[in-house]
Amino acid sequence: MVVGDASLDIDTLVIGAGPGGYVAAIRAAQLGQNVLVVDKENVGGVCLNVGCIPSKALISAAHQYESIGHASAFGIEASGATVNWSKVQEFKNGVVKKLTGGVASLLKANKVQYFNGEVMFINENEARVFNDQEAPRYRFKNCIIATGSRPIELKAFPFKGRIISSTGALSLPEVPKSLIVIGGGYIGIELGQMYSKFGTKVTVIEGGDTILPGFDKDMSSIVVKKLKGTNVDIVTGAMAQSAEQTDNDVTLTYKVGDKEEKVTADYLLVTVGRRPNTDGELGLDLAGVKVSDRGLIEVDSQTRTSNPHIYAIGDVIAGPALAHKAMYEGRVAAEAIAGHPSVVDYKCIPAVCFSDPECASVGYTEKEAKDKGHNVKVGKFPFAINGRALSLNATEGFVKLVSDKDSGLVLGAQIIGNEASNMIAELGLAIEMGATLEDIALTIHAHPTLGEIVLDAAEVALGHPIHTVSK
């Protein structure tokens, strides 16, 4: 390793090339900054390499496989379909390669310097970047920390052998015959349901009283019904105790109340949350950056830390660990560095689970709106009587709009059903721009589309629905 004594000068140092980091780097470069982005892994971070993107590729493949078995509903008789797992993995890897290659090209096109290695702060405005070959020292005017997070590893369930994290679950050598999932949050449900569609017997162990605790119970109950119909057992109110593994399987011991139970499977997937990457040798204390007891970096409304020249975004600061939140914060940080009056405004961050059916939520739930003192009016419309949903044979779910009865303002929305992940954007925009139920009702929605369900839900809330009988 070659270590340079003299410091090189850089306008903006970005630590981490995930969704938050690469967006921040590109935006800073667009605003005239000389930018260096450093990442010890691959460009694209967890999201593009071992998170959002590869998981959605596998989920899409699972949907395709399952749809063949349901083709008879459309009058199409199909049989003999098999899963070529190596080809499925090739598809997933191809998607990842295209996107990570695209991000690398964007960095280059915006003249962002890239260094594959790690960073260690030396003082409040200097850092050493290093790998096995070199370790130059940089003096920066500003820095953006975007180091992301990693799966929480429990002492009783270390990631080794047949006990795996979400990262390991994406690259199993075969479709397992059986799988235990600890944690019924969105990661556990997405991956567990994906494998169940490929034929795996899945057991979900959840400590709470329901899965998908971040979503309304009337949404999670629909997912539960679908899971139980696709070879998934769900055990709630259960606490995992210990695991014993052999070369061929792993046995989990868990408790429900005072009763001890055991379940054996090919693999045990642990999905109990993520931990911010603020520990290790980054040297935040040397940079004068304050970190909370939970390992989160404290920031102001422009994502500026206790060091006024260092910013932090994404999973290392408070809030949900979501790629789109990190991207948003990356833009704010870059613009704040350039002197723009940009500040974060978390009025509505959409949350999506790519379960089957999909769940999406933005803004207030009905309970949250009431707790905030609003006189709440709700409009709810089912997929089951929408023409497009019927033609897709995808009639599970609903759109629910939460509004202020006095002003008509849209306060929140929850969608469960086919394409909920795409449909939620309209409601996010409605909340951001201060739209009312009438604004939505007066917007012409193309027919026949799933988007019409949003229109119908607005009309239900307004009291003059066309496609259902007013109660």
4, pLDDT greater than 60: no
Over the range 43-74, which residues count as b (16 or more CB within 10 Å of their CB) and which as e?
A: bbbbbbbbbbbbbbbbbebbeebbbeeeeeee
Residue with tokens 């967006």: 23
Tell me, yes or no, whether 158 lies in a domain: no
Instruction: From 272, 296, 319, give the residue that closes a domain.
Output: 272
Average pLDDT, the chain: 96
Phi/psi zone of residue 315: left (φ > 0), alpha (ψ -120 to 50 degrees), beta? alpha
Q: What is the pLDDT of residue 5?
A: 64
Q: Is the pLDDT of residue 89 over 60?
A: yes
Residue 315 has pLDDT above 80, yes or no: yes
Q: In this structure, what token pair is assigned to residue 6?
A: 């003299």
Q: Could you say which of 256, 272, 288 is where a domain stops?
A: 272
- Same domain? For 214 and 106 the reply is no
Domain contains 185: yes
Residues 150-199 pLDDT 10s: 999 999 999 999 999 999 999 999 999 999 999 999 999 999 999 999 99
Residue 216 labelled as part of a binding site: no
Which one is catalytic: 309, 447, 464, 467?
A: 447
| pLDDT (0 to 100) of residue 281 | 87
Say how far apart CA 455 and CA 458 lie, in whole Å: 5
Kindly report the number of other CB atoms within 10 A of residue 304's CB atom.
Answer: 18
Is 408 marked as a binding-site residue? no
Do 262 and 283 share a domain, yes or no?
A: no
Do the domain assignments include residue 267? Answer: yes
- What is the number of other CB atoms lying within 10 angstroms of the CB of residue 371? 10
- Residue at 173 is within a domain: yes
Residues 376 and 299 in one domain: no
Residue 189 marked in a binding site: yes
- Which CATH number characterizes residue 450's domain? 3.30.390.30
The number of residues making up the chain comes to 471
**15 and 116 fall within a common domain:** yes
Kindly tell me if the per-residue pLDDT of 3 is higher than 80: no
pLDDT in tens, 33-55: 999 999 999 999 999 999 999 99
d(CA 417, CA 425): 14
C-alpha distances in Å from residue 49, one per residue of 91, 118, 220, 388, 441:
13, 18, 28, 34, 41
pTM over 0.85: yes
- Residue 329 annotated as lining a ligand binding site: no
91: containing domain: 2-151+275-337
Tell whether 456 is in a known binding site: no
Q: Is 184 annotated as a binding residue?
A: yes
Q: Out of 278-282, 309-313, 410-414, which region has the weakest mean confidence (pLDDT)?
A: 278-282
142 and 45 in a common domain:
yes
Q: Are 212 and 359 in contact (CB under 8 A)?
A: yes
Residues 88 and 199 in one domain: no
Residue 343 in domain = no
Sheet holding 238-245, edge to edge: 238-245, 250-256, 259-265
Does 190 appear as a known binding residue? yes
Of 272, 303, 327, at which residue does a domain stop? 272
pLDDT at 1: 53
- Is 464 annotated in the active site? no
Question: Does residue 135 sit in the same domain as residue 171?
Answer: no
Residues 91 and 116 occupy one common structural domain = yes
pLDDT at residue number 470? 77
User: Does position 2 have pLDDT exceeding 70, yes or no?
Assistant: no
CA angle 207, 278, 36 (to 5 degrees): 135
Q: For position 220, which CATH number holds?
A: 3.50.50.60
Q: What is the pLDDT of residues 116-164, one digit of tens each?
A: 999 999 999 999 999 999 999 999 999 999 999 999 999 999 999 999 9
Same domain, 18 and 93: yes
Residue 80, annotated as binding a ligand: no
What is the rounded CA–CA span in Å between residue 298 and residue 318?
A: 8
Overall number of domains in the chain: 3
204 located within any domain: yes
Per-residue pLDDT averaged across 86-104, rounded? 98
Same structural domain for residues 46 and 134?
yes
Residue position matching structure tokens 């008789």: 77
Q: How far is it, in rounded angstroms, from Cα 10 to Cα 311?
A: 15
Does residue 288 sit in the same domain as residue 264?
no
Tell me if 185 is assigned to a ligand binding site: yes
Residues 77 and 218 in one domain: no
Instruction: Judge whether 148 is annotated as a binding position.
Output: yes
> What does the pLDDT look like over 387-426, one tens digit per residue?
999 999 999 999 999 999 999 999 999 999 999 999 999 9
First and final CA of the chain: distance in angstroms?
A: 74
152 among annotated binding-site residues: no
Nearest 5°: CA angle at 230, between 225 and 231?
110
In a domain, 346, yes or no: no
Q: Band of the pLDDT at 439, cuts 50, 70, 90?
A: very high
pLDDT band at residue 356 under the 50/70/90 scheme: very high
Whether 156 is in a domain gets the answer: no
328 is in an annotated binding site: no
**What is d(CA 186, CA 195) in angstroms, rounded to the nearest whole number?**
14
- The answer on whether 337 is annotated among ligand-binding residues is no
